[in-house]
Amino acid sequence: MTSRMIVLTGATRGLGRALVREFSHLGHTVLGCGRSSDHISELKLQYPPPHTFSVVDVRLEAEVQAWAKEILQRYGAPDLLINNAALMNTPRPLWEVPASEFDELIRVNVIGVANVIRAFVPAMVANRKGVIVNLSSGWGRSTSPTVAPYCASKYAIEGLSLALAQELPRGMACVPLNPGIIDTDMLRQAWAEGASHYESPEQWAKRASLFLLSLSAKDNGKSLSVG
């Protein structure tokens, strides 16, 4: 498989961290970001150049634009852009969710995705190639009580992704992707008693990395799931 340049947000934990491991093992270059400087330092030690990792808060457009400018100048437009960074709300009825928690989740899960798209996709469009994957959820296609803010954010990702798919030139793709149910910190926050029954991020990433790398223009505008 030809080596790919992969931009990945939320690279420091959970699914993102597991994908870094698998993509690098398969010979691809990972250009990742996260908010934790300590975790970014760990990634830099574990995965030296050509991989590169940066401290970036996707909520802040100026930080995302500066990161993208550096990446695009050094590596060019990515072959695969994965918007993975996300938050889960503390489970409770919607009317009990503090405005600050709701707003923070939307800033990461929705506005952060839009910030990254604005920063990287113009260069991909100029090349008329590349795949954009926005991590959705089963809770972006169905609902459950006590996770209304998260559901709202992932329904937004579905709509944003499918509309973007209609705007891209031929040869590109945008896909909202339900990763499935994985035993992550996020799932434990929402469903502590049941999370341990599901596979680990590392197990999931072995399948998911190959699935992600298989996506192409033929998948544009499809709401997909990792099987």
Q: What is the pLDDT of residue 112?
A: 98
Q: What is the pLDDT of residue 185?
A: 65
Length of the chain: 227
Q: What is the pLDDT of residue 195?
A: 60
pLDDT class for 182, splitting at 50, 70, 90?
confident
DSSP state of 119: H
pLDDT averaged over every residue in the chain: 95
Q: Given a cut of 70, is residue 154 above it in pLDDT?
A: yes
pLDDT in tens, 37-87: 999 999 999 999 999 999 999 999 999 999 999 999 999 999 999 999 999
Q: Given a cut of 70, is residue 194 above it in pLDDT?
A: no
Which whole number is the average pLDDT over 155-168?
Answer: 98
Q: Given a cut of 80, is residue 207 above it in pLDDT?
A: yes
Pairing of strands 172-178, 130-135: parallel
Active-site choice (75, 150, 155, 198) = 150
Q: Is 155 a catalytic residue?
A: no
Q: Given a cut of 70, is residue 193 above it in pLDDT?
A: no
> Where do we find the tokens 């990161």?
67
Q: What is the pLDDT of residue 68?
A: 98
Q: What is the pLDDT of residue 1?
A: 65
The alpha carbon dihedral of 70, 75, 81, 83 has a sign of: negative
Q: What's the Rg (C-alpha) of the chain?
A: 16
CA distances from 179 to 8, 77, 94, 118 (A): 15, 25, 24, 23
Q: What is the pLDDT of residue 198?
A: 65
Which whole number is the average pLDDT over 186-210?
Answer: 77
Domains of the chain, by residue range, sit at 5-225
pTM above 0.85, yes or no: yes
Closest CA to 56 of 130, 116, 143: 116
Q: Does domain 5-225 have CATH number 3.40.50.300?
A: no
DSSP state of 37: H
Q: Which residues contact 70 (CB under 8 A, 6 or more apart)?
A: 54
What backbone torsions phi and psi does residue 6 show, to the nearest 5 degrees? -120, 115
Q: What is the pLDDT of residue 227?
A: 74
Q: What is the pLDDT of residue 191?
A: 60
